[in-house]
Amino acid sequence: MSGIIHFNLFEMNCVGHIQHGLWTHPANNRHRYTDLDYWTDLAKLLERGLFDAVFLADVVGAYDRFRGGPETAIREAVQIPANDPLLVVPAMAAVTRHLGFAVTFSTTYEPPFAHARRMSTLDHLTKGRVAWNVVTSYLRSAARNFGLDDEIEHDRRYEIAEEYLEVLYKLWEGSWEDGAVLRDRDRHVYTDPAKVHPIDHVGKHFRVAGPHLSEPSPQRTPVIYQAGNSERGKEFAARHAEAVFTGAFSLEAVREDIADTRRRAAAYGRNPEHITFFPSASVIVARTQFEVDAKLADLQRHIRPEGFLAQRGSGIDLAAYDPGELIDDIVARGGDFTERAIRPLAGRGLRVRDVLDSVGRVGQGGPFFVAGTPERVADEIERWADETGATGFNLMQYLSPGTAEDFIELVVPELQRRGRYRTSYEDSTLRERLLGPGVHRLPATHPGAAHRRQP
Ligand code: FMN
């Protein structure tokens, strides 16, 4: 097989993102997330390493289901404190030319008009390097932060998200015609008003008059990323996503997930090749296996199972269950917090003790884990990409920026030798980088394109 394998770095504007406890490691810089230098240094590093993008996750509430409150999450810095992901992008854009920025924003709590303008602004300032990871948010605590008593029911959140995107497509694609902006000094015409239109959206959830306040940005609609796992989430991805973070837990499941999403996309009349796929990857690499083993042991000493338990599945307290109980039985009993909390673990014959044992072990948390020499890591990356059809990977960090540095120093050259990693950037928008030269706007078969005005 051949073809370039793409990489995003998985990040979050916080101390403890995925690998809990490791902020105490002396080589970790995560606690510097409040310094602009942390972000600009990281962006420069990733651009040196020819990464596609940095992906910034986000949540808008505290993990407060574990042991009945947020104390564990707060003490262990499990995604709290967490700052806004959008605001670090312009700083990173200023010190790079090619790196993409995928930012997470929820469709559930803040109305679409202001978000449309923020994303257009970012697309302008980055010259078309921005993506939006669309989430519907999964924490009850988030709902309470935005004036609700409880979470909106899962499928209804996706129904709201559908209309949210419809509004945004109208603003991004339909409100301003190409050629509306004239910047004609002699005639005093910045914009031709005949080519700027209200959207007059009146729907079940939103009423938005328009016109959009931003002039068209290089990509108009940012590249749409999504990570739905449920039936409803996958349908949403099939309709809207251009990049999917698959949450599947094994090579076979990732392969099936990708094929399934492509099939669903084709059923919506989209070109299935216009969706790219990024499973998460955890990589520990060193020149010798001896060094790899030492690194693993070193990381393991700092990992905190408490932190994982507080975050895992919105904070279900697995320790409160009988260790011998089958996960399938807990899921079958139902209850609100089993919905997403442990459902992904069902159907695999696992017992509570198996899950507890795996929590806090370096290597848990995603489908793809490899600890080895550069050759072995590259072998596994190639095998996974080729056997699943994944476009690339979302690299998780253990130490920041150490994990990315190791990868760039040791794995990238090995993949380049094999012709599987770019050796330079093309001048392109993020969408072109993923979908091919010239595709800087939504492809014609994407539902957002239907909101364009015909000249
Ligand atoms: N949800 C968030 O609220 N914020 C995030 O930053 C976020 N990042 C994710 C990253 C990956 C790699 C995956 C697999 C999921 C992420 N999610 C995030 C959760 C998804 O948006 C989604 O809610 C979850 O996969 C469950 O799928 P469902 O919404 O179809 O039930």
122-179 pLDDT per residue, tens: 999 999 999 999 999 988 899 999 999 999 999 999 999 999 999 999 999 999 999 9
In a mutational test of the pocket of ligand 1, which residue from 229, 231, 338, 343 has the highest number of ligand atoms less than 8 Å from its CB?
A: 229
Least confident segment among 10-14, 59-63, 205-209, 310-314 = 310-314
| 6, two tokens | 């793409």
Phi, psi of 312 (to 5 degrees): -50, 120
Phi, psi of 284 (to 5 degrees): -120, 120
Q: Which residues line ligand 1 (CB under 6 A)?
A: 57-59, 104, 135-138, 227-230, 233, 245, 247, 280, 340, 394
SS3 209: coil
Least confident segment among 173-177, 322-326, 379-383, 437-441 = 322-326
Quote the ligand 1 centre to 314 CA distance (angstroms): 11
Flag whether pLDDT at 339 surpasses 60.
Answer: no
Phi, psi of 250 (to 5 degrees): -145, 165
Show the 3-state SS of 35-47. CHHHHHHHHHHHH
Least confident segment among 112-126, 189-203, 216-230, 331-345 = 331-345
Burial of 117 (0-12, 13-18, 19+ CB in 10 A): middle
Specify the residue with its C-alpha closest to ligand 1, atom 6. 57
Alpha carbon distances (Å) from 371 to 53, 283, 289: 23, 6, 8
**Distance from the first to the final alpha carbon of the chain:** 43
Cα distance between residue 250 and residue 434, in whole Å: 24
| 323, two tokens | 């260790």
Least confident segment among 127-141, 181-195, 351-365, 410-424 = 351-365
Atom of ligand 1 nearest to the CA of 339: 31
pLDDT in tens, 86-114: 999 999 999 999 999 999 999 999 999 99
Quote the ligand 1 centre to 53 CA distance (angstroms): 18
Listed in order, strand segments (DSSP E) in 65-187 are 100-106, 130-135, 181-184
pLDDT in tens, 253-269: 999 999 999 999 999 99
Sole residue written with tokens 């609700």: 148
pLDDT at 347: 80
CB 243 within 8 A of CB 276: yes
In a mutational test of the pocket of ligand 1, which residue from 11, 55, 133, 276 has the highest number of ligand atoms less than 8 Å from its CB?
A: 133
Alpha carbon distances (Å) from 143 to 5, 78, 167, 412, 422: 38, 19, 22, 41, 42
Ligand-binding site membership of 104 (annotated) = yes
Cα distance between residue 157 and residue 109, in whole Å: 10
Ligand-binding site membership of 137 (annotated) = no
Cα distance between residue 368 and residue 384, in whole Å: 8
pLDDT at 367: 79
Ligand-binding site membership of 154 (annotated) = yes
Q: What band does 314 get if pLDDT is binned at 50, 70 and 90?
A: very low
| Interval 308-328 mean pLDDT | 76
104: nearest Cα among 222, 255, 275: 222
pLDDT at 285: 98
CATH of domain 6-176+204-285+369-449: 3.20.20.30
Least confident segment among 9-23, 47-61, 331-345, 404-418 = 331-345
pLDDT in tens, 217-248: 999 999 999 998 889 999 999 999 999 998 78
277: nearest Cα among 294, 296, 302, 260: 260
Q: Give the whole-number percent of the chain exceeding pLDDT 70.
A: 95
Listed in order, strand segments (DSSP E) in 270-420 are 276-277, 280-285, 368-372, 392-395
pLDDT at 355: 77
Atom of ligand 1 nearest to the CA of 247: 14
Whether the ipTM is more than 0.95: the answer is: yes
Averaged pLDDT of the chain: 93
Ligand-binding site membership of 107 (annotated) = no
